[in-house]
Amino acid sequence: MRATDPQILDAIKNVLREDIVIHSQNELFEKVKQKLSSKDEALQVSAERMRRVAKKYGVKVKVHSRKGKEIKTCPFCGKDLQDVVSNDLFGRSTTIGKVCKTCRFEIGIGRTPARYIFRR
Ligand SMILES: [Zn+2]
């Protein structure tokens, strides 16, 4: 059975009750899956859905990025990212990053998410 948002959020909260910080999405995912399968039947969830639910319901998620292929859509809500434009010293406008207008996720230009940190 597919886990509902409240079930996923509950599992995340249970994990963060034991650990203040979880240092990677994989670690949280493994622990959340454990919580969701301790019931009678295992509830299905994907790492991506877990990440989205965490952010949506106010879990503090920090994104560390690394050089890499740019992403076009927000890793939290799937919306298209917009350019962040800044004027340089010479008055020219340069794109310095990408932002999601919906959830305020931001990332530098030419960077890709490398690690997600989850906090209580
Ligand atoms: Zn977003």
Residue 41 has pLDDT above 90, yes or no: no
Q: Residue 92 — very low, low, confident or very high, per pLDDT cuts 50/70/90?
A: very high
CA of 3 to the centre of ligand 1 (A): 22
Predicted confidence at residue 39, as pLDDT, reads 59
pLDDT given at position 71:
93
DSSP 18-30: H-SEE--HHHHHH
- Number of domains forming the structure of the chain: 1
Residue closest to 108 by CA, chosen among 117, 96, 100, 94: 96
- For residue 46, report the distance from its CA to the centre of ligand 1, in Å: 18
- CA–CA separation, 36 vs 44, rounded Å? 8
Span from the CA of 81 to the centroid of ligand 1 (angstroms):
8
- Its domain, for residue 41, covers 5-119
Ligand 1 centroid distance, CA of 56 (Å): 9
